[in-house]
Structure 1
Amino acid sequence: MEIKEIKPGMKHEVTDRVTEDKTAGVMGSGSLPVYATPAMSCLMEKAAAELAETLLPEGYTSVGGAINILHKAPTPLRGRVRAEAVVESVEGPKITYRIAAYDEVGLIGEGTHERFAVNEEKFMNKAAARLQS
């Protein structure tokens, strides 16, 4: 599948607030009451997914294939976090993003993320078939 609407340089942002349920201690990725790496990763991926979702043809969605991030700084409870995804390249069904997350002070994480455009029905049939084996 060729993706014509998604172009390098396109950008999308999403925001979040650090609540108890998104802390490392609660999510199990550590013991401290700071924004968990899985929560930051999820927010970054959400930015990328939302960008693709609005531009793919009907019947298509995108699925995550790879994510590589560094979590560089802690954000305490009640902090605000903004994640952005910028399209770096589009090759066939693969969309590669540069992703980053910021709190009120500055950069807290960055990395890359790959998503793949898929036909929803075919993808779900493939998923269901995995349990029928």
Structure 2
Amino acid sequence: MRETRSILETGLRHSERLLVEDRHTVPRIVADWSGFADMPPVLATAMLIGFIEHTCVLGLRGLLTPEQRTVGTHVDISHVAPTPVGRTVTAAVELVRIDGNALLFNVTCHDDSGLVSEGTHRRAIIDMARFCKRLKTEGT
């Protein structure tokens, strides 16, 4: 795998904001999952995790070569407060450990009322072409 464009160092911080819309709520996750249909219309944990991943991806974007991407490998977060439609959630991530291609982020999410989530997220740097080739090989 080729080296990253810039020096990837611990201490990298990035944040993103998400305005919670109806499509981000538990009842709207997947129509096929009927168990969610009568749940409260608040930000779904699945969407929160996706938003955290998205925040990490954007924070790393300028530091990877065009051939590189990152994939999530582990999520360990709390989801301690509901966020209704119309509120904004801010995810803040900090790269705290680099072990070869493995990256560890500390994560916090807040909305207007306070803490929504905190924990860690691990990602791995991959070579996109090799990764996709492997998928095709293993899928046959």
Q: What is the TM-score of this pair, normalised by structure 2?
A: 0.87
Q: Distance in 1 between matches of 2:62 and 2:73?
A: 19
Paired position in structure 1 for 2:45: 37
Q: Distance in 2 between matches of 1:32 and 1:56?
A: 39
CA RMSD of the aligned region, Å? 1.6
Shift of 1:53: 2.1
Paired position in structure 2 for 1:62: 70
Gaps of 5+ in 2: none
Contact 1:53/1:62 (<8 A) preserved? no
1:125 aligns with 2:133: yes
Q: Deviations over 1:14-34 (max 9, x none)?
A: 111111111012115841101
Shift of 1:107: 1.1
**Percent of counterpart pairs with the same letter?**
25
Q: Deviations over 1:49-70 (max 9, x none)?
A: 1112220123111111111111
Q: Distance in 2 between matches of 1:85 and 1:118?
A: 20
Say which is worse superposed, 35-44 or 51-60, in terms of deviation: 51-60
- Misfit runs of 4+, over 2 Å: 1-4
Q: Distance in 2 between matches of 1:53 and 1:118?
A: 13
1:21 aligns with 2:23: yes
Gaps of 5+ in 1: none
1:115 aligns with 2:123: yes
Alignment partner of 2:78: what SS?
A: strand
Paired position in structure 2 for 1:95: 103
Q: How many residues align?
A: 132
Q: Tell me which amino acid in the other structure corresponds to 1:6.
A: L
